């Protein structure tokens, strides 16, 4: 169980909204304005999965890297590696993304997602 005040929690929640909700509204709340503009331009969860993240899944399990990011209580930004294991059309896929988060008003917000 992750503490809701750490960047790993915000990153996992962000992707959980993209992969398990019907709309992107939950992910908007966990995004910086820059990321919100990007997500809004793709309109739907499936479009974001395909074009922004380049990872589509029918079902997915998301886990943070086993390495700790260190003490984040005073940090203003963080980079978190997340591991994805899921199924698409009966095939198993594993992938990883690095999520850059910024602390805005004492809340962690996703600013960018990359392969490295």
Which domains, from first to last, does the chain contain? 7-114 (3.10.450.100)
Question: Taking the mean position of all CA atoms in its chain, how far away is CA 14?
Answer: 4
Average pLDDT over residues 3-10: 86
2 vs 8: CA distance, rounded Å: 8
Integer CA distances (angstroms), 20 to 16, 24, 26, 66, in order:
6, 10, 10, 23
- Model-level pTM? 0.90
Q: What is the pLDDT of residue 111?
A: 97
pLDDT tens column, 33-54: 999 999 999 999 999 999 999 9
As a whole number, mean pLDDT of residues 87-101 equals 95
């Amino acid at each position: 169980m992750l503490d809701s005040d750490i960047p790993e929690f915000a990153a996992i929640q962000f992707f959980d909204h993209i992969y398990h909700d019907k709309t992107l509204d939950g992910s908007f709340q966990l995004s910086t304005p820059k990321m919100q503009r990007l997500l809004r331009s793709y309109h739907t969860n499936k479009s974001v999965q395909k074009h922004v993240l380049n990872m589509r899944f029918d079902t997915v399990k998301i886990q943070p890297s086993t390495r700790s990011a260190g003490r984040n209580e005073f940090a203003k930004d963080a980079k978190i590696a997340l591991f994805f294991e899921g199924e698409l059309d009966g095939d198993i896929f594993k992938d990883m993304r690095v999520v850059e988060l910024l602390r805005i008003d004492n809340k962690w917000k996703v600013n960018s997602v990359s392969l490295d």
